[in-house]
Structure 1
Amino acid sequence: MSCEFLLGQRHQHFPGKVLLLLIPFMFGICSSYSAHAETVEIRAAHCMPYIGEHLEFDVNWEFINAGSASMDVLPKSGGWQVNTVAKTNKALDIFRKVRDYITAEGLCVNGRMQSTLFDANLHERKYVAKKRTEFLWQENRVRHSQNKVVEDFDVPAGHLSVIDAFFAVRNLKLIPGQKLKVPVFDSRKRYEIEVTVLPEREVLTAPWGKKVECIVVRPLLKSEGIFTNKGEMTLWLSNDERHIPIKVAAKIKFGSIFAHLTSYQYTAPTKSSTIRENSK
């Protein structure tokens, strides 16, 4: 199967959203109800201990390098800002150039994560979109803007953007066999992502050259996303307090996508940039 065939599929903005597979909730997935799944309150001594991280990923379709993605977690007005960039490499730029920029912001409210902003600037060949989601948590609503169309939705405080949900899951204890549900608002929809922590552990090589034992986490998909098949996504997190994402694998309609961590840096924030607690 040629790159030209894959990249030419109608409505397949490839690999823009695929490049963001390292954030395993980027496909508008819906959770499936389980009596054994626990809806979690993301509550911890430090609700966002990842400020100061820089992560870089290579993204491959089967054996072909498709592009790269990066994430930077910065202090922002008493909370945090996560800047994510996804782009195709020079070879794929010829067929379908992708430059996607996403900003997510949030605060700690009563010890819990609270998203405040999700801003996506997507440029995938001729497809251009600017989407802005404001979490007006003190009013229990969300405002979504796209193409000059503004909509308000009733959304209780405590809901997260998909990027903040990724960090929220990393900040949990992650017990083998556990099932968790995290409330999110994404793509004009409010739902819960169900995450299963698999019982097995696997050892992978980290970008710093050492073997790392990993926890294996899988979102439970009820319906197909844009590229994914049902239940076909897996995330490997380092089995330590930071739960660093070492690898992501996902099935798409034409093969498999793999995202591998290639660089990880962490710089502890200064006291002046630490998160300040907020309350209603």
Structure 2
Amino acid sequence: MPKGILDVLTVLYALRYAALEPMSRFGMPVLDGGRHRLNAGDEAKESLETVLGRTTATLRVRTYLEEEGSGRHRWPMRLWLTADRRHFPVRFEAHAPLGRIPLELRRIRTDAPSNPQSGLEWH
């Protein structure tokens, strides 16, 4: 993979460390079978009921892949991150050819599970 180009999952993780400000916009190169640019923008602040057990201040971030050369947009997604410095992902929604794909963080384990994949639970 060329230097500076990330896979889709790594780019979504990198969003947590981006300087998210209201109405900010930024993009990152991504490789997902072709060369694209993931464009993201902070849409709004929202209060959501979350797994954290209370109304949580979140940042709603809109993303989409832009095809290199053609400028076509694909895979629109929304990601809700906590508005604190952790930017913890609490909700995700993607629109794919098969339809809408919603995910919501339902449980957080803070102990060390015997199976590391069992620490987070999505529905």
TM over 0.5: yes
Aligned match for 2:59, one of 194, 207, 215: 215
Is 2:43 aligned against 1:193? no
Q: Given the alignment of the two structures, is residue 170 of structure 1 paired with residue 16 of structure 2, yes or no?
A: yes
TM-score normalised by L of structure 2: 0.72
Q: Distance in 2 between matches of 1:190 and 1:235?
A: 22
Partner of 1:246: 90
Q: Distance in 2 between matches of 1:162 and 1:250?
A: 13
Q: Is the Cα contact below 8 Å between 1:206 and 1:246 reproduced in 2?
A: yes
Paired position in structure 1 for 2:118 = none
Task: Tell me the CA shift for residue 266 of structure 1.
Answer: 5.4
Tell me the equivalent position of 2:107.
263
RMSD after superposition: 2.1
> What are the ranges of 5 or more consecutive residues in structure 2 without an aligned counterpart?
66-71, 112-123
TM-score of the two chains, using structure 1 as the length reference: 0.34
- The answer as to whether partners of 2:64 and 2:74 remain within 8 angstroms in 1 is no
SS at match of 2:73: coil
Rg (Cα) greater in structure: 1
Structure 1: runs of 5 or more not aligned: 1-141, 143-154, 226-230, 268-280
2:59 aligns to what SS in structure 1?
strand
Identity across the alignment (%) = 28
Q: CA contact under 8 A between 2:64 and 2:73: conserved in structure 1?
A: no
Shift, 1:219, TM fit: 0.8
Structure 1 position 237, deviation (Å) = 0.6
The one-letter amino acid of 1:223's match is H
1:205 aligns with 2:55: no
- Highest relative contact order (Cα 8 Å, sep 6+), 1 or 2? 1
